[in-house]
Amino acid sequence: MQPRTLFEKIWDRHTVVKEESKPSLLYIDLHLVHEVTSPQAFEGLRLSGRKVRQPDLTFATMDHNVPTINPYHVTDEIASKQMTTLEANCKEFGIRLADLHSAEQGIVHVIGPELGLTLPGKTIVCGDSHTSTHGAFGALAFGIGTSEVEHVLATQCLWQSKPKTLKIDFTGLRPLGVSAKDLILAVIAKYGTDFGTGYVLEFTGKVIEEMSMEERMTICNMAIEAGARAGLVAPDETTFSYLKGRKYAPVGEERDKAEVDWYSLRSDEGAVYDKEIQFDITNLEPQVTWGTNPSMGTSISGKVPDPATIENEGERKSVAQAIDYMGLTPGMKISEIAIDYVFIGSCTNSRIEDLRKAAEVVKGRSVSPQVTALVVPGSKQVKKQAEEEGLHEVFLEAGFEWREAGCSMCLSMNPDVVPAGKRCASTSNRNFEGRQGRGARTHLVSPAMAAAAAISGRFVNVNEWRYEKEEVV
Ligand SMILES: CC(C)[C@H](C(=O)O)[C@@H](O)C(=O)O
Ligand code: SF4
């Protein structure tokens, strides 16, 4: 047999129907559901008198609409309706639901891995673009639209055109204090928001191999911001040890067998990708976005671009428009940008390691008086663990707010919004106009950088605090 990539192996295993130059029918191993994109899908099932084909392969949670001060007090009518509807639908169709009372509730892309539902080799879908997160486990995971949600509920299958493969190989040694978030922001800053269109990205290289699962999740989470269908990291010992003891992960002999199988999914020596990119991280610095899409970003030591120096007219206009919306001055230093809000949370960066990294920076310091700063754990389990470690005290003592689990300020679908004209350093993944609230301005950064910004009231290179000198390991 020809050498195959990780993607091809998972694809081949799940193809139920295949026809030349037509979409294939794929079997879906795990369908994750949340309150925003599922109501019409369930309604469609009801109208056509159908059942959920595999309720045991379906798992639901509430995240987008959940108020993070008092989750049980939902004042918004649409939010409240979406949540009660999900509850009723799960009951009617026999689907497991991590509702607000459940100790398992949280952002869908945080709880899937945490519960061991996300496993290598699976096909995973959810009516949510950041489903790419689960690719960190070597699962083929991607977002689908509401009509597809209905299709998967009814059949456990999905029609999909076969994407192409793109390998992103990180070369060089990771500079001290440079996070997974910085890596993916830098890749998107260099190649843009659509270089991944039509591709599944596989991230490789020593730095990826040495990363924790949570860091790999941060990288794969943002594959979608590069336009990609999905992101992938090859399963390895790090993956297997993360999964050990997780609620739904295999145990005993089954686990041993599964691990052998999972390992066999890794891309074969000599496997051919449709495209390959090498990205050298040797001189990488912490990243900050200045604009209104994730590719409009630079290093902490960089500057806001000056549209006058951009030759291409289209680009010049879009940069000028972004700078105008963001209320910045062309050519100003990133380190001169003062902020009003800090949001540490979202499916990109709300896991325990993210909170630890932020707390490490915050410890013994205070939030700048003009800054409102929130820490929002990605799940109830993350919150519990953080409290057991005393991280909440570090944040609270410094002047951060410590909230309940949910999507929160990542997008304005719940009470956590950034007011118009205000500027937020955010650990989330999208900085589009109005993303965190109408007229709100978002700068994407890592948890450590967000923590440092909260304290300084402006962007600073967190490594200058943490390490006497910026040495390279
Ligand atoms: C609400 C949902 C459909 C949306 C998505 O698909 O990603 C949201 O999670 C987001 O991050 O913008
Ligand atoms: S945290 Fe943000 S990006 Fe993630 S699912 Fe929620 S809204 Fe989407």
| Rounded-to-integer distance, Cα 183 and Cα 197, Å | 19
Residues 353, 329: Cα–Cα separation, whole Å:
35
How far does the centroid of ligand 2 lie from the alpha carbon of residue 353, in Å? 18
CA distance 286 to 184: 11
pLDDT of 27 over the 80 cut: yes
Give 373: exposed, middle or buried? Use CB within 10 Å, 0-12, 13-18, 19+.
buried
Cβ-Cβ contacts under 8 Å for 433 (sequence gap 6 or more): 292, 325
Q: Is 128 in the pocket of ligand 1 (CB under 6 A)?
A: yes
Mean predicted confidence (pLDDT) in 426-432:
98
Distance CA 268, CA 266 (A): 6
User: Could you tell me what percent of the chain has a pLDDT over 70?
Assistant: 99
Query: Which residue among 125, 429, 444 is best mutated to probe the pocket of ligand 2, counting the most ligand atoms within 8 A of its Cβ?
Result: 429
pLDDT in tens, 355-403: 999 999 999 999 999 999 999 999 999 999 999 999 999 999 999 999 9
The verdict on whether residue 407 carries a ligand-binding annotation is yes
Q: Of the candidates 302, 263, 311, 317, which has an alpha carbon nearest to the alpha carbon of residue 443?
A: 302
Q: How many residues does the chain have?
A: 473
The percentage of residues in the chain with a pLDDT greater than 90, rounded to a whole number, is 97
Strand partners, 43: none
Query: At 467, is the pLDDT very low, low, confident or very high (cuts 50, 70, 90)?
Result: low
Residue having the nearest C-alpha atom to atom 6 of ligand 1: 128
pLDDT at 471 over 50: no
pLDDT in tens, 64-123: 999 999 999 999 999 999 999 999 999 999 999 999 999 999 999 999 999 999 999 999
| pLDDT one-digit tens code per residue, 292-308 | 999 999 999 999 999 99
Q: Whose CA is nearest to atom 4 of ligand 2?
A: 347
Expressed in angstroms and rounded, the spacing between residue 359 Cα and the centre of ligand 2 is 22
Q: What is the rounded average pLDDT of the residues 23-29?
A: 98
For the Cβ of 37 lying below 6 angstroms from any atom of ligand 2, the answer is: no
Atom of ligand 1 nearest to the CA of 128: 6
pLDDT at residue 468 greater than cutoff 80: no
C-alpha–C-alpha distance, residues 265 and 454, integer Å: 43
Distance from C-alpha of 144 to C-alpha of 129, rounded to nearest angstrom: 7
Ligand 2 centroid to residue 384 C-alpha, Å? 20
Helix, strand or coil for residue 290?
A: coil
Does residue 469 carry a pLDDT above 80?
no
- State the CB neighbour count (10 A cutoff) for residue 260: 9
Among the listed residues 456, 452, 412, the one whose alpha carbon sits nearest the alpha carbon of residue 434: 412
CA angle 320, 322, 323 (to 5 degrees): 65
Q: What is the mean pLDDT of the chain?
A: 97
Atom 6 in ligand 2: which residue has the minimum CA distance? 407
**Mutational test site, ligand 1, from 40, 61, 64, max ligand atoms within 8 Å of CB:** 64
- What pLDDT score was predicted for residue 465? 80
Angle, to 10 degrees, between the axis of helix 447-456 and the axis of helix 352-362?
30
Question: How far is residue 5's CA from residue 8's CA, in Å, rounded to a whole number?
Answer: 5
CA-nearest residue for atom 1, ligand 1, is: 36
Give the pLDDT confidence of 181-229 residue by residue, as tens digits: 999 999 999 999 999 999 999 999 999 999 999 999 999 999 999 999 9
Count H helices, E strands: the chain?
A: 16, 19
Q: Is 347 annotated as a binding residue?
A: yes
Query: 127 CA distance to ligand 1 centroid (A)?
Result: 8
- pLDDT per residue as tens digits for the range 274-290: 999 999 999 999 999 99
The answer, yes or no, to whether any atom of ligand 1 lies below 6 A from the CB of 32, is no
Closest CA to 32 of 101, 82, 96, 78: 96
pLDDT of residue 150: 98
346 Cα–ligand 2 center, Å: 6
Dist. CA 89 → ligand 1 center (Å): 20
Ligand 2 in contact with 435 (CB < 6 A)? no
Query: Nearest to residue 121, comparing CAs of 271, 270, 266, 274?
Result: 266
Distance 221 CA to ligand 1 centre (A): 12
Answer whether residue 271 shows pLDDT above 70: yes
pLDDT of the residue at 466: 75
Whole-number Å distance between alpha carbons of 380 and 384: 6
